[in-house]
Homo-oligomer: A and B are copies of this chain.
Amino acid sequence: MANEKDTFVENIADIEKDFPQWYTDVCKKTQLVDYGPVKGTMVIRPYGYAIWENIQHELDVRFKATGHSNAYFPMLIPMSFMTKEAEHVEGFAPEVAVVTHAGGEQLAEPLVVRPTSETIIGNMYSKWIQSYRDLPVLMNQWANVMRWEKTTRPFLRTSEFLWQEGHTAHATEEEAIEETHKMLGVYKEFAENVLAIPVICGKKTEKEKFAGAVATYGMEAMMKDGKSLQSGTSHYLGQNFAKAFDIKFLDKDGTQKYVYTSSWGVSTRLIGALIMAHGDQRGLVLPPKVAPTQAVIVPIAAKKGGVLEACEKIKGDLEKAGVRVLLDNSDRSPGWKFNEWEMRGVPVRIEVGPRDLEAGKVMLFRRDRCEKAEYPLEGLEKCVADLLESIQTDMLESARAARDERIVKANDLQGILSAVEGGNFVLAGWCGCRECEDKIKEKTAASSRVLSEELQHEVCAVCGKPAKHTVYFARAY
């Protein structure tokens, strides 16, 4: 078995030495994803899509519990819509894909494949919203979107990806801002309790905000190489899109007013976050709540009397207990199976051998810590369910501890540079001007991720003028 494991490790690049190649290897070898025929596109394979389905389910329940309904808006947007909000077009025009021909004819107006749907949804809201009675409008859409990117990587940056985009309209500024924060909170709770990824939430700088937003709030997660992955955003759009698309309502006081809107989204990028936040040299490590298979049963010496029957019984019991379980009774060796399912990140492995059975026991292997222990066969469902819960909690806490160790403070450019080169997030003072933010990017390749809620610095790390904010800086995906 040791040999097989060695063979296996050879197949995945060294996580310490070549993190990007390790990522690509894990993506491909675990059959999460493949490259599509058009450059920059990806095929989400069943194992990857099953993770996405679990993510969708968990989020969808939360969106509905907070009063949102799903809807579906057309993918093709008239080019003229894109230009109605000045910042929006500037941000997105360079990366749109354009349909110019359809049904054998050239179109009178080119159509943009949605890079995001504020414009087309704004157009519909202006038809639907007439009175304060129609507000708030709280909708979400699960959809594909397209942003033509030069450099792409599966899940992290692809020309087409899957996401959800919430779009809400409100009578007052306060309400819209509250919604923006509420959904960021939903994302944070989800990221931590479902993905087991601790996140830092906060306001983005002007430079990093969404094109067309008044304010963007982001959720940043630390990957194992110390880089940050923006894992979700929530935008307060003020009346920018309301004015561009004439979304007005008759208020209680008898006057016509523009609505205030918000939008928020997360995408298949989260699968990339899962890989890079939890993975190790053996491959994926999936938190139980999103793992397509939560427990895999591997029979040892399966031909010996009673082993396969015992495995079938365990499988049935676990299914009844609501565990997503797989019995691997293929003709591969146990060692091969161990490697395969470890690589695929299955949280718990149940090893069932004839001697164990005689002793009324089985071995449980937990993927997150790569630890093995004996458990009684009697009442195994409960043990497995408890173990899955522990893994879920422990993964979050272990990721949090590892991250917290890698958040450091810096007082000047050199400090920021050495910190990010060491794979850290950096807290540094910032005067608030674009020049200093750009300079940090230029000198350290770190960008501002989010503003810290508290001011922890007296001066800007670049210009030395009084600091307006303490900012999280990091190199980012």
Residue ranges of A at the interface with B (Cβ–Cβ < 8 Å): 34, 36-38, 41-46, 49-50, 52-53, 69-78, 81, 93-104, 110-111, 113, 120, 123-124, 127-128, 139, 143-144, 146, 148-150, 159-160, 162
Report yes or no: B74 in contact with A45, Cβ–Cβ below 8 A. Answer: no
Report yes or no: A124 in contact with B50, Cβ–Cβ below 8 A. Answer: no
Which residue of A45, A71, A95, A96 has the most chain B CB atoms within 10 A of its CB atom? Answer: A71
Report yes or no: A50 in contact with B70, Cβ–Cβ below 8 A. Answer: yes
Contact among B44, B71, B76, B143 with A45 in the assembled complex (CB-CB below 8 Å): B71
Report yes or no: A76 in contact with B41, Cβ–Cβ below 8 A. Answer: yes
A-B contact pairs, 5 of them (CB 8 A): A38-B76, A76-B146, A94-B103, A96-B102, A100-B101
CB distance from A326 to the nearest CB of B (A): 13
Report yes or no: B98 in contact with A34, Cβ–Cβ below 8 A. Answer: no
Instruction: From known contacts A95-B103, A148-B103, infer whether A50 and B69 are also in contact, taking CB-CB under 8 Å.
Output: yes
The copy count of this chain in the complex is: 2
Cβ-closest chain B residue relative to A331: B133
Report yes or no: A36 in contact with B74, Cβ–Cβ below 8 A. Answer: yes
Report yes or no: B76 in contact with A124, Cβ–Cβ below 8 A. Answer: no
Contacts of A139 in B (CB 8 A): 46
Contact among B69, B103, B146 with A150 in the assembled complex (CB-CB below 8 Å): B103
Contacts of A45 in B (CB 8 A): 71
CB distance from A159 to the nearest CB of B (A): 8
Which residue of A75, A94, A110 has the most chain B CB atoms within 10 A of its CB atom? Answer: A75
Instruction: From known contacts A43-B74, A70-B50, A76-B41, infer whether A104 and B99 are also in contact, taking CB-CB under 8 Å.
Output: no
Instruction: From known contacts A120-B37, A143-B144, infer whether A43 and B73 are also in contact, taking CB-CB under 8 Å.
Output: yes
Cβ-closest chain B residue relative to A97: B102
Contact among B71, B78, B98, B103 with A37 in the assembled complex (CB-CB below 8 Å): B78
Report yes or no: A34 in contact with B127, Cβ–Cβ below 8 A. Answer: yes
Report yes or no: A46 in contact with B34, Cβ–Cβ below 8 A. Answer: no
Contacts of A159 in B (CB 8 A): 76, 102
Contacts of A104 in B (CB 8 A): 93-95, 148
Report yes or no: A99 in contact with B102, Cβ–Cβ below 8 A. Answer: no
Cβ-closest chain B residue relative to A162: B72
Q: Which 3 A-B residue pairings sit nearest by Cβ, starting from the closest?
A: A103-B148, A46-B69, A41-B74
Contacts of A76 in B (CB 8 A): 38, 41, 97, 146, 159-160
Which residue of A45, A73, A102 has the most chain B CB atoms within 10 A of its CB atom? Answer: A102
Contact among B78, B144, B148 with A38 in the assembled complex (CB-CB below 8 Å): B78
Q: How far is the CA of A73 from the CA of B94 in the complex (A)?
A: 24
Contacts of A49 in B (CB 8 A): 69-72
Contacts of A144 in B (CB 8 A): 75, 143-144
Contacts of A93 in B (CB 8 A): 104
Q: How far is the CA of A34 from the CA of B150 in the complex (A)?
A: 36
Contacts of A71 in B (CB 8 A): 43-46, 49
Cβ-closest chain B residue relative to A68: B46
Contacts of A149 in B (CB 8 A): 103
